[in-house]
Amino acid sequence: MTTHATRTPTGSSAPGSSAPGSSAPGSSAAGDGARREGAPGGTARLGRYTVARIGFGAMQLESRSASEDAAVAILRQAIDAGVNHIDTAQFYPGCNTVIRTALTPFPDDLVLATKVGAERDPEGKLVPAQRPAQLRAQVEENLATLGAEQVGVVNLRRLDARPGILAEGDQVVSLDDQLAELATLREEGKIGAIGLSNVSADQLGHALPAGIACVQNSYSLLDRATEPVLALCRQHAIAWAPYFPLGSAFPSMPRVIDNAAVLAIAAELSVTPAQVGLAWQLAYYQGTLLIPGTADLRHLAENVAAGVIKLPPASLAALSQLAG
């Protein structure tokens, strides 16, 4: 029997939501706005779904980075902690397979979000895969490796700007053509909602009529270059799932946990610098959905615990000025 990662809605959608329709057998009321008890960070909307505001990013569970046993333990602990939004991708080697191993039969309220727009070449190198037919093939591959009839959210990773690889030649594709293919997949019931990743405010504004459930852009309290995109998400009540929420090893992205002001506030509150950075994100926009990843159980517990940290007004103000 094929498992369901989420409900299987049918029909067309309004902006900011996935397609309305009846639920699949055995699904919960989470898709209708039910509140989840003990949801880390509280809850927010992800298209038609209600999810915990602290989710989990699976990238660090790639087969080349973590053993299968460790990855299974992390995923199960995340679910036990109240996480019900997991971000993955077929081009994260082994991640979909370990999610299927660890979590099937999938919990009724679990929303799996994947990304399309890139793939691995025969040598394992990440390369663009932006053409509509390639997007469809990637969705089908995700469904097969996850063992699901539908993926809750599919985020289209645009490759117009860094960080990461860039589209060239025949991989420079119209956003309209991509959205048309994803909308068809949504109508077919293979995906529940459409998201965007690595987009500009102009691109998000152009895509709004297609019904956008979320945006994944690089964003931290020290690097807010994509603030105009977040502002548009606020305006249209679109979920915001920042990647690199604590910065990264890229030279242009400062690491939040190394910042002196963050370190001082963390010491004052007896929390970790990472928790300060995540708590600030949650406080800054109520539609923020965090998807921090880790292959360490202790770090997972710390990430989940960030959801109960309430930063004092003075700390929030000081942190909010850091990127100014």
What residues act catalytically?
92
d(C-alpha 310, C-alpha 270), whole Å: 12
SS (H, E, C) 91-152: CCCCHHHHHHHHHCCCCCCCEEEEEECEEECCCCCEEECCCHHHHHHHHHHHHHHHCECCEE
* R_g of the chain, CA atoms, integer Å: 18
Q: Do residues 36 and 303 touch, judged by C-beta distance below 8 A? A: no
- Within a 13 Å sphere around the CA of 190, how many CA atoms are in the beta-carbon half? 17
Q: Do residues 54 and 292 touch, judged by C-beta distance below 8 A? A: yes
d(C-alpha 220, C-alpha 240), whole Å: 12
d(C-alpha 274, C-alpha 295), whole Å: 15
